[in-house]
């Protein structure tokens, strides 16, 4: 079976390499354009491109796939497999392979259709998420569902740890599904549109944490943005990233954004609906550190207002 793979980030590269190692015939990879990374903005190959190059597989990086996909006909794919590609795939492209197109999606559909299902599951306080193997159609994450696998979200999980879990389960689900799909032994289930929820791409604005919430919501946002990119507040107009926090109390006796305690026992921050304890932080230009190290190196924090 000639497989054309479409995907871009680390989760897609893990699944791509897993397919190759299992002996599947991946004839090409379509990925998003390479982008600048890091402080120096060095152009770096996207993760799926690195894997493809390692195995001598052709890579196609198209600006707008809905306008430029005629080349796919020459590849003669039997099946398209997508995972976190990053663009809506047009129906004309989906119609090319004889076995159609399937997607490895990072939620239990119809919940959390869209661009940030892993982060959003944590931000929304869910205890269970999962992978759905689904039919690709020209509507976002709306095709038939073929296979679901649940993933438990621990209280200690953040975006990075959950992402790593989802990579492994995504590959397991795909490898379980493909032989039966090729042999016509699977049937799809339509999604209940009335139960559909959506999540949008996490933006730079979303990284600026809100103080106008309760402690549980604040902690979930911190978890959903850690370890990267990291949620932040502003301390004396400097970016103050918070990588780990925990709910402390529901008391509201201080100004919103005020640091109400800063000693070896805790770095406590007043929210609109309670207090959180900041555990791992990073001030702009400094290393990531525990709250104890941060407090030891900076005096007169009590009464400071974060915003």
3-state secondary structure of 238: strand
- What pLDDT is attached to residue 69? 96
Instruction: Over range 188-200, report the average pLDDT.
Output: 96
Q: What percent of the chain has pLDDT over 70?
A: 100
**What pLDDT, on a 0 to 100 scale, did the predictor assign at position 39?**
74
**How much of the chain, in percent, has pLDDT values that exceed 90?**
92
Average pLDDT, integer, range 202-218: 97
Confidence check: pLDDT of 5 > 90 = yes
Q: Which of 15-19, 35-39, 83-87, 277-281 shows the lowest mean pLDDT across its residues?
A: 35-39
Predicted confidence (pLDDT) per residue in 37-87, tens digit: 877 889 999 999 999 999 999 999 999 999 999 999 999 999 999 999 989
Residues paired with 266 in a beta bridge: 263
The mean pLDDT of 244-252, rounded to a whole number, is 96
Of 238 and 300, the one with more pLDDT:
238
CA dist 259 and 242 (Å) reads 14
* pLDDT value at residue 228: 94
The CATH H-level superfamily of 2-199 is Formyl transferase, N-terminal domain (3.40.50.170)
| Residue ranges covered by each domain of the chain | 2-199, 204-296
CB-CB contact of 220 with 124 (8 Å): yes
Question: Has residue 185 got a pLDDT over 90?
Answer: no
41-45, 222-226, 268-272, 288-292: the lowest-pLDDT one? 41-45
Q: What is the pLDDT of residue 20?
A: 98
Q: Under a CB-based contact definition with an 8 Å cutoff, are residues 155 and 128 in contact?
A: no
State residue 215's pLDDT score. 98
Residue 270: predicted pLDDT: 98
- Right CATH for 204-296 from 3.10.25.10, 2.40.10.120, 3.40.50.150, 3.30.450.150: 3.10.25.10
Pairing of strands 289-290, 274-283: antiparallel
Q: How far apart are CA 123 and CA 210, in angstroms?
A: 12
* Bridge pairing between strands 198-199 and 35-37: unpaired
CB 289 within 8 A of CB 282: yes
Cα angle, residue 37 at apex, residues 35 and 40 outer, rounded to 5°: 120
pLDDT at residue 17 tops 80: yes
- The per-residue pLDDT for range 139-171, each reduced to its tens digit, is 899 999 999 999 999 999 999 999 999 999 999
Q: Is the pLDDT of residue 264 over 90?
A: no
């Amino acid at each position: 079976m000639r497989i054309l793979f479409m995907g871009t980030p680390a989760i897609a590269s893990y699944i791509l390499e897993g397919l190759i190692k299992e002996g599947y015939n991946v004839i090409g990879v379509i990925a998003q354009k390479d982008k600048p990374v890091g402080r120096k903005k060095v152009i770096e190959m996207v993760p799926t491109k690195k894997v493809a190059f390692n195995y001598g597989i052709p890579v196609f990086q198209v600006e707008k796939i809905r306008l430029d996909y005629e080349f796919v006909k020459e590849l003669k794919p039997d099946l398209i497999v997508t995972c976190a590609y990053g663009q809506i795939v047009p129906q004309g492209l989906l119609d090319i392979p004889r076995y159609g197109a399937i997607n490895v999606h990072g939620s239990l559909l119809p919940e959390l259709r869209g661009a940030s299902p892993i982060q959003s599951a944590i931000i929304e306080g869910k205890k269970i998420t999962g992978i759905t193997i689904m039919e690709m159609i020209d509507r976002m994450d709306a095709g038939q569902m073929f296979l679901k696998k649940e993933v438990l979200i621990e209280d200690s999980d953040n975006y990075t740890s959950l992402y790593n879990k989802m990579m492994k389960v995504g590959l397991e689900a795909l490898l379980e599904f493909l032989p039966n799909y090729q042999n016509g032994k699977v049937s799809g289930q339509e999604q209940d549109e009335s139960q559909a929820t959506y999540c949008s791409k996490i933006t730079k604005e979303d990284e600026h944490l809100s103080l106008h919430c309760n402690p549980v919501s604040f902690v979930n946002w911190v978890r959903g943005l850690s370890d990267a990119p990291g949620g932040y507040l502003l301390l004396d107009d400097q970016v103050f990233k918070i990588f780990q926090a925990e709910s402390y109390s529901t008391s509201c006796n201080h100004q919103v954004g005020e640091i109400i305690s800063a000693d070896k026992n805790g770095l406590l921050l007043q929210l609109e609906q309670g207090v959180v304890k900041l555990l791992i932080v990073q001030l702009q230009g400094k290393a990531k550190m525990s709250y104890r190290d941060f407090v030891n190196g900076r005096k007169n924090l009590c009464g400071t207002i974060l915003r």
